[in-house]
Chain A
Amino acid sequence: MTPVEKPCGLEAKGVVFKYQVDESEAVMALAGVDLEISQGEFVVILGPNGSGKSTLAKHLNALLLPDEGDVWVFGMNTKAPELTWEIRRSAGMVFQNPDNQLVATVVEEDVAFGPENLGIEPDKIRELVSEALRAVGMEAYKRHSPHHLSGGQKQRVAIAGILAMKPRCIILDEPTAMLDPSGREEVMKTIKQLNQEMGITVIHITHFMDEALYADRVIVMDQGKIAMMGTPKQVFSQWEDISELGLEVPPIGQLSRRLWAAGIDIDPGILTVDELVDELCRLK
């Protein structure tokens, strides 16, 4: 008997998921994943294409259900059908292509879409929408058409649409893949702020190694399993494993390590420009 309630943030236990390719063949997308994410954590998931990152993310808001094992979202088991909508409200999802996510012709209507579906009364919706747009710094655009916004702005509106449903967790599946450098920074700063100021749990999937530096904890997936886990420093210090998994250490990390390997007395685990500047200046 599977318990319906379990107190914690998000938890996956022994999760196995298979995609049916055809009648005779199935691909194991998740091959036994155990994971606990605390309320308020900022987690970045890295991994090669096809490693199971998106499949795992979709389990965390009941878009997919495990073939084996269980997933609990704030104590709610995703297998309990009566909890599905509450799970999706608590853990909202933002996807890669901003143009596929915005449905209305005016920004504020788009953000109101979620709460309207929840049957919240109009006055309260207006309040939720304003609050959400303020949180992502897009209040000035509330009467604009989403189509004329930049990529970063569109993603912030998509995030506001999730925020308006008062979630405890936001799951972002490569939200920056299609953005220019400024849009990418805009989105990353926005989600970091939501995490720090509102305590929202963030689960962010990306192929950009530098975005992992925003995380409290980095999880590396490979072939449907968790291959590595730790702080950004811990994960990127295992540079041999990182490159074997087809990932790469961010440029400043590569440089720090090379300097250290050449006998320079610095911390080889440094990953940011400012830290490396300070460390190098300390040598004088």
Chain B
Amino acid sequence: MPIEVSNLTHTYMKGTTSEVTAISGVSFRIEDGEFVGLIGATGSGKSTLIQHLNGLLRPTSGTVLVDGVDIWSKGVSLKQIRRKIGLVFQYPEQQVFEETVYDDIAFGPRNLGFSQAEVEARVEKACELVGLDKELLPRSPFELSGGQVRRVAIAGILAIQPKVLILDEPTAGLDPKGRMEILDNIKQLHETGMTVILVSHNMDDVARLCERVMVLEKGTLVFDGPAREVFTQREFLYSKQLRPPEVTLLMEKLRQRGWAVRQDVLTVEEAYAEIMKELRKKGVAGAI
């Protein structure tokens, strides 16, 4: 179910003196199975934009088409749209409220009116997908660690079995292990065919995971293209309050010192391979 956004503008408090245009004239199309990173400075409009994709916010002007249908046209059920496009908010643990982990994950499917057996099956599947130990299901979510609660919140959305998963800063505030585990889960979900949109301030994570990157600045889409292309544009990134991954910066500096290495390197593995190749050419790593 492709998502197509055309000329989307969103103005908060329109017609008042506090009027703020958060999104202005944004257009893009996301195909099935893509893994898109959405980056930009605090206040650039990322959270506002994603809330349009499942109809939580209504565009001031412009359209959002899901499967070719304008989600705000007559006869479209927004409830159906939200079943297909799941949105995990920032700090979702603040929205965990049920007495047990099970009830929290089951909230969505129950609301959709599924039978008890179906709800149970979905909760179980969602736990598997996020790597949540089933022994935690009868516990109170408030007894869990930060990483576990975050997973409960994501599982709650996955239990709705959406086709598209949008995550707003899913790893903020987590320790490195918790962060890696959640990102691995997301990667696996994408590998099973789910469309993923990841909003993040962590450039290393976006560079490693996303094929396509969109950059927002003051509500305008200023870049939409391959991750390799955007992360090699250091000056552009700095001007948008962003940074390239450290390994990409390393490659640029090596090139300035006369090394014939590729600059569009995004991970430690790629950097390692590229440096070794060059060292062999120079004869330094000849014997290896």
Contacts and interface: CB of A to CB of B under 8 A. Distances in A.
Given A49-B178, A247-B175, A263 B253 contact: no
A124 B42 CA distance: 35
Nearest to B278: A280
A181 B146 contact: no
A228 B156 CA distance: 37
A55 to B, nearest CB: 14
A138 interface: no
B146 A49 contact: yes
Interface stretch (B54-62, B65-73, B100-108, B280-288): B280-288
Q: Looking at A181, A246, A264, A283, which has the most chain B CB atoms within 10 Å of its CB?
A: A181
A281 interface: yes
Interface in A162-196: 174, 177-185
A100 to B, nearest CB: 12
Contacts of B276: 259, 262, 264
Contacts of A152: 42
Interface string A6-38: 000000000000000000000000000000000
A251 interface: yes
A49 B241 contact: no
Interface stretch (A70-78, A233-241, A271-279): A271-279
A181 B42 contact: no
B246 A210 contact: yes
B241 A183 contact: yes
Contacts of A263: 285, 287-288
A276 B242 contact: no
Given A182-B41, A259-B275, A262-B285, A49 B174 contact: yes
Nearest to A176: B201
Contacts of B271: 255
Nearest to A174: B173
A258 B176 contact: no
Nearest to A261: B272
Nearest to A154: B42
Contacts of A178: 42, 172-173
Contacts of B257: 277, 281
Nearest to A153: B42
A284 B284 CA distance: 7
Contacts of B249: 273
B34 to A, nearest CB: 23
Interface residues of A, number: 42
B247 A246 contact: no
A273 B250 CA distance: 6
Contact of B246 (A185, A273, A284): A273
Nearest to B178: A49
A252 interface: yes
Given A151-B42, A180-B201, A259-B272, A47 B175 contact: yes
B112 interface: no
A151 B47 CA distance: 15
Interface string B247-269: 10110011001010000000010
A209 interface: yes
Interface of B: 40-43, 145-147, 172-180, 201, 203-204, 238, 241-243, 245-247, 249-250, 253-254, 257, 259, 268, 271-272, 275-276, 279, 282, 284-285, 287-288
27 contacts: A48-B177, A50-B145, A150-B41, A177-B172, A178-B172, A179-B201, A180-B241, A181-B243, A182-B238, A182-B242, A207-B173, A246-B175, A246-B176, A247-B176, A250-B246, A252-B250, A255-B250, A255-B275, A259-B272, A262-B272, A262-B288, A274-B253, A276-B250, A277-B254, A283-B282, A283-B284, A284-B282
Interface of A: 47-50, 96, 150-152, 174, 177-185, 207, 209-210, 246-248, 250-252, 254-255, 258-259, 262-264, 273-274, 276-277, 280-281, 283-284
Report the 5 A-B pairs with minimum CB-CB distance, sorted nearest first.
Answer: A246-B177, A182-B241, A49-B146, A181-B243, A151-B42
